[in-house]
């Protein structure tokens, strides 16, 4: 006996013994069959073998002790209840053997129907069918032989791995011989012949005869269902859906009922509301004279469920009653499988049904109206990923559009436009009113204008935190990054992909949700939910169930959440949009984004300054521009906190790339042109070149090395705050120092900043906080010291992940994360969702030690994780005060912060 097996373990439950709460043990199907049985609904009798039995089988390769005996006992009870014995030659009981795991894994595992049929009981089944309806003796024979051939086919395929095509081929042959395409035209003799052929196929493949002993059939079928948990497709599905690999499946053994007994029999599926839109009503399909797998296989065309009212009004009415009862009982949309056997309705399955994102919101709202659930429950039943889906424009892919390449869905949405390869060309074509897609190997800060002008961005390199991805997300612009099937040739103004050449001006379409790239224009639909957030759709006046439901649930989330939600924004317009989306401040204003465009020249002057005077001049020229930037943002945020981060990236990012510059200089020298300025620039670029710029001269290091740089920014922030206050407004600036690893760095910057602030704010009443990012692991580990010098911490989880894992944030996702995901080293990129165990631990330590040193220390997060649903729950748990994310993710963070609050409240009260 192994650890999995304990003497006296109960491995088999009669349907009457279970209930819907026992999904872990009985699987979803078994638990719900038990629930329906106990509700008194017409469920064929049966029993469930537990997931624990499956786990034990998979661990040891054999059934756990006691299982066989328990199956025997429950089978006998089933036989007694039905008044028939399994496989009895005269009057056989037949059973189905169905998988059913904790989480639904549609079509991934196995089912065997009609277990109990053999060469003798097939005759008994025919007699049984004809005695129930003496007029149908011909069709009863047909039915029995059809059931038998289905058993051999399913059993052969599932239990003995006989290739399914061999059976299908034989069935096609039989139909061809008969001159028909329809299974129903095969009569009892044809099917008897087909059974012989199937048996030969079975024996040919397995080296043994098809088993005639019913109990052997049953045991082998149960084992095959257990084993199907580890079928390749099931493993892949679980990985994709993040279903744990060790749950195992339950097995349901159910008395067969037959939908293929004639025109007054049939089978169908039904939904209690429309799973596509959430609309109330009855949705489903029905197929007369068929077994369940015929519907799935699409062998014959189904009819809409409403047709059943005409075909069998009594069963239809009963079905509607049951559906209403199930909805009331489960307090949710249910999906249902049923069979009608000669006018008698049987429920074969029910579960809380899958639905689209729109339906999830609409149904949650409806159920509140109907008094079935409260608003907390409604909030719990939707999520940020669904809201995100609803916020992006979508392609209408009703035509046959096949993608030509696939990259990383870096910033969701759908965009079509003419391909351009440079930022300048993007701006030109956009000015002509054309929609453009900017295609680059990767983007850099120089591309910003082109990115603003473009409808979407496509790169062949880079991951989810590459420049293109982060900036595009910030703008709410569609971006596919790292589409490495694409070869970009900028000088030739074209890219090639899978044998196609796409030249400048050709139209492509990119889907930033799926990462797919299409040639030509795919039509796009705008999002109503964004129109609502933007304020152009008023939920009180619009007849749109989705908008009303989103409004109601968002309002509830806002009332419940503890985390504040801020935004990452660097411009007045971005800040204004984020406020409309519900942002309660700015958690990260990246000031380096303000040094682009026509200010580059000034930055170049600053970098190239040979003397103190030249540098002071350049900084003096930048000061009023920066002041103007901050005035714009403070005005937009009207008294809400604004965290301004002092400049972060390496300065050489503002200079032309080394190789390109070296070539230009060499060519110009060859031509005898005056290149003194370019040579100076080249020398500066060479001087500043770093092998690992992400770990080089950036952030606070830059501020400590270039005199006057941070001072200029601090002065501009303080002056802007004072100017806004003098105009009657309110400004709440928070100056944030990036990349701090040691308290001494912060203390040095702070001492200088405090002097400037005191001088500028005077008695204006303006208060300026000074805090730091925690994005270097050393800062997290010395947070107690750093908190002495910081009025707030903001976790820069992009860099904290980069440096915590040692993963270059610009390279690794495209380079090798696929392998890490495949190996299960992580289930999702740690740049996308916070790695709770490692990076998350650094955050916990910093939060605890920071607050121990300075009680009430304000804590936020401003890395990309601030808008990731799962990470928001983590930040709630750790006790942060706010999350900050790109404007488009603000509603998602609000929703998830509300969900996190009710979930914690729920677990506290348990
Ligand atoms: C971070 O590192 O998480 C952060 C917000 O800073 P940036 O992305 O600008 O490096
Ligand atoms: Mg950073």
Distance CA 249, CA 229 (A): 6
Given a cut of 80, whether residue 630 has pLDDT beyond it is yes
Contact 414, 395 (CB under 8 A): yes
pLDDT of residue 22: 96
Lowest mean pLDDT among 22-36, 97-111, 723-737, 850-864: 97-111
Atom from ligand 1 closest to the CA of residue 862: 5
Distance CA 233, CA 224 (A): 15
Distance from the CA of 632 to the center of ligand 1, in angstroms?
Answer: 23
Which residue CA neighbors atom 1 of ligand 1 most closely? Answer: 796
**What are the tens digits of pLDDT across the range 475-522?**
778 999 989 899 999 999 999 998 999 999 999 999 988 899 999 999
CA distances from 452 to 426, 438, 447 (A): 9, 10, 9
Distance CA 357, CA 374 (A): 19
Distance CA 484, CA 460 (A): 5
The DSSP output letter for 699 is T
Contact 326, 43 (CB under 8 A): no
Name which residue leads in pLDDT, 130 or 154.
154
Helix (H, G, I), strand (E, B) or coil at 840: helix
Given a cut of 50, whether residue 887 has pLDDT beyond it is yes
**What are the tens digits of pLDDT across the range 3-16?**
344 546 899 999 99
pLDDT of residue 827: 79
Helix (H, G, I), strand (E, B) or coil at 721: helix
Residue 292 — very low, low, confident or very high, per pLDDT cuts 50/70/90? confident
Residue 2 — very low, low, confident or very high, per pLDDT cuts 50/70/90? very low
pLDDT of residue 297: 55
Mean pLDDT value of segment 531-549: 89
Distance CA 681, CA 660 (A): 12
Q: Chain-wide mean pLDDT for the chain?
A: 91
pLDDT of residue 754: 98
Neighbours of 861 (CB within 10 A): 33
Mean pLDDT value of segment 432-459: 90
Distance CA 837, CA 826 (A): 11
Atom from ligand 1 closest to the CA of residue 775: 2
Distance from the CA of 731 to the center of ligand 2, in angstroms?
Answer: 25
**What are the tens digits of pLDDT across the range 246-287?**
899 999 999 999 998 888 999 998 999 988 888 888 888 899
pLDDT of residue 4: 44
Mean pLDDT value of segment 755-766: 96
Specify which residues 861 forms β-bridges with: 795, 883
Paired tokens of 267: 């089978």
Residue 1 — very low, low, confident or very high, per pLDDT cuts 50/70/90? very low
pLDDT of residue 910: 34
* Pocket, ligand 1, Cβ cutoff 6 A: 588, 590, 648, 775, 796-799, 862-863
Contact 121, 86 (CB under 8 A): no
pLDDT of residue 233: 79
Mean pLDDT value of segment 833-857: 98
Residue 581 — very low, low, confident or very high, per pLDDT cuts 50/70/90? very high
pLDDT of residue 472: 80
Residue 298 — very low, low, confident or very high, per pLDDT cuts 50/70/90? low
Total-model pTM: 0.81
Which residue CA neighbors atom 4 of ligand 1 most closely? Answer: 796
Give the active site residues. 467, 862
pLDDT of residue 296: 56
Given a cut of 50, whether residue 909 has pLDDT beyond it is no
| Cβ-proximal residues to 259 (8 Å cutoff; 6+ apart), any chain | 265, 266, 267, 287, 289, 290, 291, 292, 339, 340, 341
Best residue for ligand 1 mutational test, from 738, 805, 861 (most atoms within 8 Å of Cβ): 738
Atom from ligand 1 closest to the CA of residue 798: 3
Distance CA 502, CA 513 (A): 22
Mean pLDDT value of segment 231-248: 80
Lowest mean pLDDT among 133-147, 218-232, 347-361, 720-734: 133-147
Rg of the chain over all Cα atoms, to the nearest angstrom: 34
Mean pLDDT value of segment 170-180: 93
Ligand nearest to the CA of 570: 1
pLDDT of residue 131: 76
Contact 690, 652 (CB under 8 A): yes
Residue 243 — very low, low, confident or very high, per pLDDT cuts 50/70/90? confident
pLDDT of residue 38: 96
Best residue for ligand 1 mutational test, from 649, 796, 810 (most atoms within 8 Å of Cβ): 796
CA distances from 450 to 427, 481, 495, 657 (A): 6, 16, 18, 18
Best residue for ligand 1 mutational test, from 863, 868, 885 (most atoms within 8 Å of Cβ): 863
């Amino acid at each position: 006996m192994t650890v999995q097996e304990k003497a006296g373990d109960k491995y088999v439950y009669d349907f009457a013994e279970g209930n819907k709460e026992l999904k872990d043990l009985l699987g979803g199907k078994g638990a719900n069959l038990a629930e329906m049985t106990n509700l008194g609904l017409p469920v064929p009798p049966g029993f469930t073998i537990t997931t624990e039995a499956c786990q034990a089988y998979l661990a040891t390769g054999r059934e756990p002790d006691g299982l066989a005996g328990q199956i025997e006992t429950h089978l006998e009870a089933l036989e007694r209840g039905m008044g028939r014995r399994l496989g009895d030659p005269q009057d056989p009981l037949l059973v189905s053997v169905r998988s059913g795991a904790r989480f639904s894994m549609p079509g991934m595992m196995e089912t065997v129907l009609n277990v109990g049929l053999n060469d003798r009981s097939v005759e008994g089944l025919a007699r049984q069918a004809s005695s129930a309806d003496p007029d149908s003796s011909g069709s009863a024979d047909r039915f029995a032989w059809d059931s038998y051939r289905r058993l051999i086919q399913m059993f052969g395929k599932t239990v003995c791995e006989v290739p399914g095509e061999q059976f299908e081929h034989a069935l096609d042959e039989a139909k061809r011989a008969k001159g028909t395409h329809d299974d129903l035209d095969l009569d009892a003799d044809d099917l008897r012949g087909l059974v012989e052929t199937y048996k030969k196929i079975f024996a040919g493949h397995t080296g043994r005869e098809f088993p005639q002993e019913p109990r052997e059939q049953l045991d082998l079928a149960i084992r095959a269902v257990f084993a199907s948990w580890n079928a390749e497709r099931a493993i892949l599905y679980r990985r994709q859906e993040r279903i744990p690999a060790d749950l195992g499946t339950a097995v349901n053994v159910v008395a067969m009922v037959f939908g293929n007994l004639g025109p007054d029999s049939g089978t169908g599926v039904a939904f209690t509301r429309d799973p596509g839109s959430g609309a109330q009503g009855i949705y489903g399909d029905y197929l007369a004279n068929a077994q369940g797998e015929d519907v799935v296989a699409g062998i014959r065309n189904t009819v809409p469920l409403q047709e059943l009212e005409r075909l069998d009004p009594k069963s239809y009415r009963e079905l509607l009653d049951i559906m209403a009862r199930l909805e009331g009982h489960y307090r949710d949309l249910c999906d249902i499988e049923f069979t009608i056997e000669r006018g008698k309705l049987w429920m074969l399955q029910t579960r809380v049904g899958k639905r689209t994102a729109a339906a999830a919101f609409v149904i949650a709202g409806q159920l509140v109206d109907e008094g079935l659930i409260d608003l907390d429950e409604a909030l719990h039943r939707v999520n940020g990923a669904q809201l995100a889906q609803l916020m992006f424009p979508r392609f209408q892919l009703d035509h046959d559009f096949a993608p030509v390449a696939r990259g990383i869905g870096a910033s969701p949405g759908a965009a079509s436009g003419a391909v351009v390869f440079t930022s300048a060309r993007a701006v030109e074509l956009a000015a002509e009113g054309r929609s453009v897609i900017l295609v680059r190997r990767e983007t850099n800060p120089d591309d910003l204008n082109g990115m603003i002008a473009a409808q979407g961005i496509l790169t062949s390199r880079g991951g989810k935190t590459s420049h293109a991805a982060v900036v595009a997300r910030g703008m709410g612009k569609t971006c596919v990054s790292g589409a490495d099937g694409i070869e970009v040739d900028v000088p030739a103004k074209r890219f090639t992909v899978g044998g196609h050449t796409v030249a400048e001006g050709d139209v492509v379409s990119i889907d930033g949700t799926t990462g797919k790239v299409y040639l030509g224009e795919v039509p796009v639909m705008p999002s109503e939910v964004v129109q609502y957030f933007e304020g152009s759709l008023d939920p009180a006046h619009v007849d749109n169930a989705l908008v009303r439901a989103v409004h109601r649930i968002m309002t509830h989330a806002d009332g419940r959440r503890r985390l504040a939600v801020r935004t990452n924004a660097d411009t007045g317009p971005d800040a204004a949009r984020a406020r409309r989306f519900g942002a309660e401040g700015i958690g990260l204003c990246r000031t380096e984004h303000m040094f682009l465009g026509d200010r580059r020249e000034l930055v170049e002057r600053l970098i190239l300054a040979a003397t103190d005077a030249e540098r002071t001049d350049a900084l003096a020229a930048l000061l009023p521009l920066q002041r103007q930037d901050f005035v714009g943002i403070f005005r937009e945020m009207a008294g809400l906190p604004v965290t301004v981060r002092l400049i972060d990236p390496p300065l050489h990012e503002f200079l032309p790339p080394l190789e390109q510059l070296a070539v230009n200089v060499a060519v110009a020298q060859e031509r005898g042109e005056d290149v003194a300025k370019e040579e100076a620039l080249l020398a500066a670029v060479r001087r500043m070149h770093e092998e690992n710029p992400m770990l080089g001269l950036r952030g606070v290091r830059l501020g400590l090395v270039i005199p006057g740089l941070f001072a200029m920014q601090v002065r501009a922030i303080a002056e802007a705050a004072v100017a806004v206050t003098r105009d009657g407004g309110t400004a709440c600036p928070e100056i944030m120092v990036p990349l701090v690893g040691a308290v001494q760095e912060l203390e040095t910057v702070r001492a200088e900043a405090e002097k400037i602030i005191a001088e500028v704010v005077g008695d204006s009443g303006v208060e300026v906080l000074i805090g730091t990012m925690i994005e270097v692991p050393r800062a997290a580990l010395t947070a107690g010291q750093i908190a002495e010098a910081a009025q707030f911490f903001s976790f820069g989880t992009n860099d904290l992940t980069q440096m915590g894992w040692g993963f270059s944030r610009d390279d690794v996702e495209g380079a090798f994360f696929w392998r890490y995901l495949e190996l299960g080293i992580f289930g999702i990129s740690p740049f996308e969702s916070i790695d709770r165990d490692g990076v998350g631990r650094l955050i916990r330590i910093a939060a605890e030690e920071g607050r121990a040193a300075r009680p009430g220390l304000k804590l936020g997060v401003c890395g990309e994780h601030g808008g990731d649903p799962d990470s928001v729950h983590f930040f709630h748990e750790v006790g942060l005060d706010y999350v900050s994310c790109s404007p488009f993710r603000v509603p998602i963070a609000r929703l998830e912060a509300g969900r996190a609050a009710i979930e914690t409240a729920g677990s506290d009260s348990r």
